[in-house]
Amino acid sequence: MLYYNRLDPVVWVGSKSGTTRTSVALPTSYDTTVTKTVKTTGYAVAVFDILYTMGAAETANSIEIKIEDSVDGTNFYRLSNEAASAGTSTITAREFTFVGTNAAAATVSYRLDISYPYLKVSAKETGVITNAGTVFIEGILAGN
């Protein structure tokens, strides 16, 4: 395990006062209501601790998270996936999907190596019939 001199907490989505977490309602498409840009200069790792609560009476919904990075804080680029076959790499835009617990809260944590000075995190929900779910995302930025 690497040792980092700096371990700074960050709230990516929602808000927090002391230990009280405040989630936000999830839209069904990426928009500015559930998007945050954070300056990450000097950090090597971002951790995302996600609390996703599916709406009442909803089943099999999922939260989808888009992470983008930027050199200048203005022009952002989606993280990518690569699939290689027969010497050809196919690159697609990356999206992190987490299927929740029917009409209840569920948690997951994800660690991501970073190298750009800015990260933007956006979230949306799919599968909603009537009641939108909520999300709170916090974590740490680690670096030297």
One-letter amino acid identity for 115?
A: S
Q: How many domains, the chain?
A: 1
Is residue 32 in a domain? yes
Tens digits of per-residue pLDDT, 61-119? 999 999 999 999 999 999 999 999 999 999 999 999 999 999 999 999 999 999 999 99
In a domain, 78, yes or no: yes
> Residue 33's pLDDT band (boundaries 50, 70, 90)?
confident
Q: Classify residue 73: in a domain, yes or no.
A: yes
CATH number of the domain encompassing residue 11:
2.60.120
Burial category of 117 from C-beta neighbours within 10 Å (exposed 0-12, middle 13-18, buried 19 and up)? middle
CA dist., res. 2 & res. 90, Å (int)? 31
C-beta of residue 11 within 8 angstroms of C-beta of residue 135: no
Domain with 37 in it: 6-143
Stretch 17-32: mean pLDDT: 95
Tell me whether residue 17 is in a domain: yes
**Domain assignment present for 1:** no
DSSP conformational letter for 120: E
